[in-house]
Amino acid sequence: MLATVGLYSLIRYAVSQRTREMGVRMALGARPRDIERLVVGEGMWLALLGLGLGLGLSFAITRFLASLLLGVSATDPLIYVAVTALLAAVAALSSYLPARTAAGVDPSVALRTE
């Protein structure tokens, strides 16, 4: 749950910081679908990078984790696949919601804001 809220908040903040850029892109002819694709693509790229690093580190520290786990192997593939799929789905949704907001930005309003 903490990863879900953190990921959504981070992407939402990044999109809000780029409102002016989105307005310029829309003013220069970018369609809302292009803005959505940009935001979701960047969010998923970061999420996949984080998932890759997280999987690599988790495999690296399995010896230390094995003593803490009860009833589950430290390299249980079902757990790795389930957690990776869940976080990828959350990343997709967390990227899509701010992307919809960014695609609805009125270029004239975005360019007037500070």
Identify the residue with better confidence: 62 or 111: 62
The chain-wide mean pLDDT, for the chain, equals: 86
Written as one letter, the residue type at 47 is A
φ and ψ of 28, to 5 deg: -85, 0
Predicted pLDDT of residue 114: 59
Predicted pLDDT of residue 37: 93
- Which of 15-24, 28-37, 70-79, 100-109 has the weakest average pLDDT? 70-79
Buried b (16+ CB within 10 A) or exposed e, 68-92: eeeeeebeeeeeeeeebeebeebbe
Structure tokens at 110: 């975005």
Determine the Cα–Cα distance for residues 27 and 55; give it in Å rounded to an integer: 41
Domain extent listing, the chain: 2-112
**pLDDT tens column, 34-44:** 999 999 998 89
Residue percentage of the chain with pLDDT more than 70: 98
Say if residue 112's pLDDT is above 90: no
Average pLDDT, integer, range 84-111: 86
pTM of the full predicted structure?
0.78
**pLDDT tens column, 23-61:** 888 889 989 999 999 999 988 998 899 999 999 998 888
